[in-house]
A and B are shown apart, each in its own frame.
Chain A
């Protein structure tokens, strides 16, 4: 990359053909040579060249089209503005109202499917961020050179906590949803207000901060998708040749050029080792001047196992998100209802969910998981183990505890993903047929008396439980495999016999998988 030029000895400039076209600036740039990453740094996460779907001319043409993301967002945009309007103005019967039916019976389940199968597919078509982005860019799809808003950066004091901000937003939103029984589903207007709240918050963030700061840090779903989505089979937009990216003199994929915006998600294809922060927006693909960005698919779970950089915010997010889904399992049990009522009476809180029990259980689960990591540390860590020097912020601080906690949490991602997915299934199976009824109701068809309205995909609790346990079994097996692989690579070097550590990690995944599966049996298909 560094270009060194010699001064002509005779002091004359080169007058050879084409010499006048040599840009004197370019030949005087003497940038330092970039440092080479270690060979193994990205090798485990680099998808195979053959898995680049953007090599197909038709796919390439579609991805190059600036209207692509607009067309992905538009249908969802229409649906969710209908949700807002119909939720406020339509029937108050939740099952018959388009807003509640589409949101809670279909959308939420679909988001989880997309998350597990693809990764951030929803982010590519999300109407909430999409709306904010349209306003921020004052364009639906065109590349504009200016933007609306203050364009601030997320301060590092906040940004260092990464996904944990989003986890906080998700916990808050879920508590509000539980408190007002929005997803019950309760009053359809509540769903409208919730969606309006998300759109409004997103818009404010898009106008105050630059790029997709909202989506990267604040969106209630971004932590969940960024963690569970790593199970997905789409690796995202990655470099085709890292050397080309490293020696690129413009980094248009990050800064933007006439063809595409700089990555709204603060992700560089040249160093991306996971699909966690790739919003699949195609901007880097469009902007790359060297056609060196591809859209890669990968084997499921690759982005869980392969990354060598384990982030503390991701690990704690997994622990807390697991706490939340366990809470949502526990709250279907009579024993919890009694406990929550007792707590409300003693804390003068009006009704379920009591914030103390809510946060208490979530934190307790996370602490228990951390406790397991502590046990691992005490059981296996070599006495002479010294963590790598690092630690400038929360994200990358190192310690022996983190050396165990982070990989273990990554390992159980499939259990957490399966748990969230299984938790949505009762509503999906019991009420999905209400969606066409709710749509028909808008046009004067369909009522609560229609057979479809009262139909179910799976009517028996036993059937639903069987599917839930099956999902958990699949998730647990996947988690045992990822834990095994991660333990072999990341935990064994810290101490202990490799096989023992692997067996312990897989057993840990098995234990929490079994525990959650048992909870589904106890819940008896409650939604």
Chain B
């Protein structure tokens, strides 16, 4: 399978890339890791006339802590979050999720920015970003703006990144107190999209009461889904069995899976219930491990 013909440019600065994007309009596509876009181009589901490759632009790939935020450059490869000891201090969830994204070769190329900007509810990072209450920096010719993750996913392959814009950075607030997080998805085989996946992030006060809960669900809704009622069921509790059971039940009721080869609707709801319970327990265990 070979993509249809296109022109290719690899600019060496973000400004140059934004100008090209502005000039070409929606005839152009951004190439980051390319491991979602190139397969779609090979199948001719996507036929851009211009491809603007961001890989030669320096300064878009980094992991850093700044102003109480963990910042991830949009071109950071999945493998870098998988292997970073620095990120694992507060966010062991990244090692959980990266290991389940496609396979090692794909993770060498796939980027975190691309994973989000693709706008696919079957991708795993969106649920993680919902749980961690991330925000996203988007650059355009007129400047940069920051969008909260709850306002980022518009619909199927559609996000807040508008024509002429490029996602440049992901910002995650660093928890100040006791916290824990975890992700798991049920998949039929390595490299498959999730039958269902759950990301959980929890924060606690000194008395062990949950002060903040973030729960994101993968591939059980047209867009990545925040499990709002599940989060509310946990905050203010010490995460006793009843609170966890309610949160898991709400997640299974509030998601909207569709029936496909990975399973029917009831099965997927059951998966979400079971994995939500497991991930709350795992995140809690991590929070109280020392």
> Do A and B interact with each other, yes or no?
no
Q: Which residues of B are in contact with A by a Cβ distance under 8 Å?
A: none
Q: Which residues of A are in contact with B by a Cβ distance under 8 Å?
A: none
